[in-house]
Amino acid sequence: MSSPALWLAIVAMGLITYGLRVSMIILFGRVAMPEVLRRALRFVPPAVLAAIVLPELLIPGGRFALPPDNARLVAGVVAAGVAWWTRNVFLTIGTGMALLWVLQLILRS
Amino acid sequence: MPLPERHSAARELRAGMTAVLPLLIGVAPFGLIYGVLARGTGLPVAMAQAMSLLVFAGASQFLAVGLIGTGAPWPILLLTTVIINLRHLLYSASLAPHMRPLRPLWKWVLAFLTVDEVYALAISRYQRPPAGATGEVHWYYLGAGITLWASWQSSTAIGIYLGAKVPAAWGLDFTLALTFIGLLMPALTDRPSRTAAATAGIVAVLGWSLPLKLGLVLAAASGIVAGMLVERGFAAARTAGGTSPES
């Protein structure tokens, strides 16, 4: 793509993303939300977050892998345990990264 | 405006800024890596930063940089943007009832700041506001949003500046997955929500190789339906006079 075309594409990407973010807030500021939709939306956080997380753990670097070839899965599962018990994102990330580095060192040697 | 109200607004703003801080150790390295990658594909500095300023969506920016690097045409670029960001329609709809009383300007500004992490913080604050904060949660939302936005801009800038000096072996990109794990676990409050997460996760893995990241959309939809079915099963069991199932 040429430079002006790239600029246009970036602006269009921004408009698309913003449109998706603002649309329902505006729409349901004006009309009532159907009951079915209201019940469905409770499941948005668990469903979307899990759909992002699980492939990151099971398909790291674009290839399906299990331990011992998958340090991220081990680190991620332990981090999930930390998150569950402590509800502390800081500890979750710290434990996960520390474990990933240790496992990488062990697996490499 | 009476003084107590103003105080609780300021408190909510500060609470939002504080709540987002631990998430920044996941977000900042991701912004850094985005900057590095963008420069690696030859995207000019101004464009790389403009994408963070205007699009402000990590996953979408990563994909876009990858696509631009492979010389993909713009319709593919825009279509991918729509599909990967479709989840924002869900976020938008789920926040909408809580944001109804807000003035339009608030809605326009807060919508712009609603990335995954800010959504997760805002919706859980709206669902369980602390005593005295009801009606002021938009300040919390704003505090979290601008803090994350500023950190995304600065970490992107640092990444662009550093270029290829951040070794891939550090695995810094993993911090983002860990951030999402930290947000996911507290959202698993009962059996329907756990079913929604398990279903969505499995479908996302199975559909991972689908083009344009369609797997994510499919996974989110399956998870939501599964959660609703389990919830309905519970309701039916209760009205049938059975003891309510353990969640």
Question: Taking the model in full, what pTM does it have?
Answer: 0.82
> Which amino acid, B176?
L
CB A81 within 8 A of CB B163: no
Q: What angle do CA B139, B147, A81 make, to 5 degrees?
A: 95
| Chain A: residue whose CA lies nearest to B20 | A89
Model confidence at B247: pLDDT above 50: no
Q: What's the mean pLDDT when you consider all of chain B?
A: 89
**Residues on chain A touching B59 (C-beta within 8 angstroms):** 52
pLDDT tens-place string over residues A3-21: 899 999 999 999 999 999 9
Among A60-64, B186-190, B234-238, the range with the most confident prediction by mean pLDDT is B186-190
| pLDDT, mean of residues B122-148 | 93
Residues A97, B178: Cα–Cα separation, whole Å: 8
Give the ipTM of the model, two decimals please. 0.90
CB A19 within 8 A of CB B88: no
pLDDT tens-place string over residues A30-49: 888 898 988 998 899 899 89
Nearest to B205 among A46, A58, A72 (CB): A58
Please give the interface size between A and B, counted as residue pairs whose CB atoms are below 8 Å apart: 270
